[in-house]
Structure 1
Amino acid sequence: MLRIATANVNGIRAAHRRGFGDWLAGRECDVVALQEVRAQADKLPDAAFGDYHVALDTGSLPGRNGVAVLTRHAPEAVRTWHGAALVGGPPEAVGVLGPVPAADRVPLARGLGRFAAEGRYLEVDLADAPLTIACLYLPKGGLPAELQRPERMREAPDGGARYARKMGFMAAFSRYLVRTRRAAAAGGREYLLMGDLNIAHTRQDLAAWRRNQRNDGFLPEERAWFGQQLSPRTLVDVVRRLHPDEDGPYSWWSWLGQSFAKDTGWRLDYHLATPRLARAAVRAEVDRDFRGERLSDHSPVVVDYER
């Protein structure tokens, strides 16, 4: 059995204060993908990643973004969009991995270059299973200019700039996703994309879907893009496959109000797997809290896969 989790920690230091270290030690995952680590190497808390080997791309923006993949065994290969990562494992400290050999890189799709140093994507080949693990933190985005109403917005209107940026990222990432999935297949590996995709795909993925149809994260064009990434022959939404008729299970709730208590959340955190791997999934759970405390505004999504 392989137990694999994805979690947006919304800051590794804050998550540790809420019990992330104990959750990590006790959940017995074989692989954990993290988003929004939000710490440069010299700011990581002690034992930030427990007894795991880690591949980490902090990105170049202090206090923002950052993705990591934790594994029980040192990965066979690590790839980032800018050709370098931080790697390490017990008992060694996290150290610098040099540029990835050009022959091992999947060429970036047009349009991804401007995002390469932001700490949004990292992938590893497992050493103990024929599997490529990819970790993605997709931009949150915003509203197109025609939907922006200052009186309804927490942020200042931007003329649709954040919306355009997200849509540009998604278009470019679609092209990259095809390439890297095919590269995994050519190497005899299954492919698993995990992370915070900042989109609720269907009405089942958002409790208050009626009032959010004109809000970012549930816009028709975002949902259409998501659907285009899925098919029975390419990538499968693993949690939805295991919970086909269920609303949720949600993985993000606002810190404000009673959203968490009333379970009026969004499903933003996904396992998207190649078909054979998806068929091997036997159990999917969302760890809503840990010992009565939320680790983040997101909760870990944990899936068990038969080997």
Structure 2
Amino acid sequence: MGLVVEVNNITKAYKKRKSKEQVQAVNGISFSVKAGEVLGLLGPNGAGKTTTIKMMCGLLIPDAGTVFIKGIDNKKHRLKALSHISAVLEGNRNLYWRLTVRENMEYFAGNRGVSQKKITSRVDDLLRKFRLEEKENELVNRLSRGMQQKLAIAVAMLADSDVILLDEPTLGLDVGTRHEVRELLRSIAQVDNRTIIISTHDMEVVQDLCERVIIISDGEIVADDQVSNLLRLFDARAYSISLEGHLNEHQLSKLKNKFPMFNYLPASHHSVLEISFSVSEQIYELFDMLRHEGVVIESIDRGMLHFEQVFIKLIKGEKTHETLAQSI
């Protein structure tokens, strides 16, 4: 597969308000994305992720470095490069609220060069696919957040671009709508064979859809690997421990101070401790603590690690992109 996005050593600094001091938002980030890939672009607030996205979309010019979309420099040939990428920024920002669903789709299709002959059939097809037919004559500002989000993604699909970049596609949606949007994105990736870049804090989306993730922290990449590899890297240190009875507040406080990465699930006559460790040897420290507190262990199983736990560990620096390759 060929590369559709190439980000080469981009940097961006901002000047603080009322000060000459420079804040380095992005510091020498490089990565590439293959055709047909589903990539997660992750990072905590203030990490430089949004700045990176804006440079990829041509909304910001890097201080240094280059971005190529389908081999085209998006600084030297901005419009030509951006014709190959569609972006949905924070869900419904790219919609006109005083137009109807159909009017939005027809306007943006024409704006991206789709011929009038093709617009009607293309819009009809996407209205069916996204289950928006009953709302086609509804003004966008009267739609639910979930409907607006689906419409924004449908509008991005109209351009038939090689790359679709989605910024927080499930933000603010209820559980049912989040599931529906994930299914739509899976269909786009598998059936339409588009390259999708998802920027999100929703780790269910990452674990469910993304093949690979890039994690940015403090303006630099701290991880760039397959989701399965990153899960496997930390999986050996995740456990589910069934306890007799319940832990009291004092015991939970001691546990939190020593092992911050855990979930405590009390049941009627027992409780379950889902916990992961920085290093495997910490399990012996946990046993000593539980024994000292007189807590009886009923059973121990390997736990199921979720990508949110991996994300937190990587951000905290337990593994860096230099050591990931050596560890897998």
Give the TM-score normalised by structure 1: 0.33
Richer in helix (by share) = 2
Richer in strand (by share) = 2
